[in-house]
Amino acid sequence: MALIIDNAVRLGKKNAFANVLGLCTATYAHGAFSILGVSAIVLNNKTLFFLVKLMGSCYLLYIGIKSIKSGINTLNSKEIIQKNEKNTEAKVKFLTSYVDGFMTQILNPKVSMFYIAAFPKFLASGGGHKKGFELVTIHSFNIFAWFTLMTIFISFARTTLKKKKIKGCINSATGTVLSLFSFFIFFG
């Protein structure tokens, strides 16, 4: 959620939607891994699970530090950020935002846990792979709907949220939350 908020404010609606699509694609990947048994192999192998957890927490920490630095730079800058100003952040590619969303979700061990611990219980009543992918589609649609609505609402307030002081605080807070999540994932 922090990634979507940050990108909706910083980069705009288009890049936030790219994050959402990345999250949904990674959710399908988690579902497929679970349905095909790959997730169970990772969960039962302590070394593999540790590596996934380490990669996920390091990636979140990287994004968090990047956001904190951006927030501090914004707060310390002498320039006034104007509505129509072209900056380097606005040039971030759609694909980059998509990959950020995908990596954030695919490296999240808590999503893996859901698809390993809870998801098989939904499949126990039968229906096999088809039912599994139907459930993954429902889950992905819920993610898409929630984050799309959030992106739309944030985009309405974007002009206010892009003010230097507010933008700097949002970036710093987002970075702090992501960094804390990385520690909770790694040590939790």
The type of residue at 48 is L
The 10s digit of each residue's pLDDT in 6-17 is 888 888 899 999
Average pLDDT over residues 18-43: 90
Residue with tokens 């599994």: 132
Q: Is 70 exposed, middle or buried (0-12, 13-18, 19+ CB in 10 A)?
A: buried
Residue (of 84, 101, 144, 91) closest to 6 by Cα position: 101
- Based on the structure, what is the number of domains in the chain? 1
> Would you say residue 83 has pLDDT above 70?
no
Tens of pLDDT, residue by residue over 89-126, are 556 789 999 999 999 899 877 787 788 777 777 776 67
Range of the structural domain that residue 161 is part of: 2-187
* Token pair belonging to 123: 């499949």
**How far is residue 136's CA from residue 122's CA, in Å, rounded to a whole number?**
11
- Can you give the pTM of this predicted structure? 0.74
The span from the CA of 76 to the CA of 81, in Å, is 12
Between 28 and 122, the higher pLDDT residue = 28
Residues of the chain above pLDDT 90, percent: 31
pLDDT digits (tens, 9 = 90+) for 33-70: 888 888 778 878 999 888 888 888 888 898 889 889 98
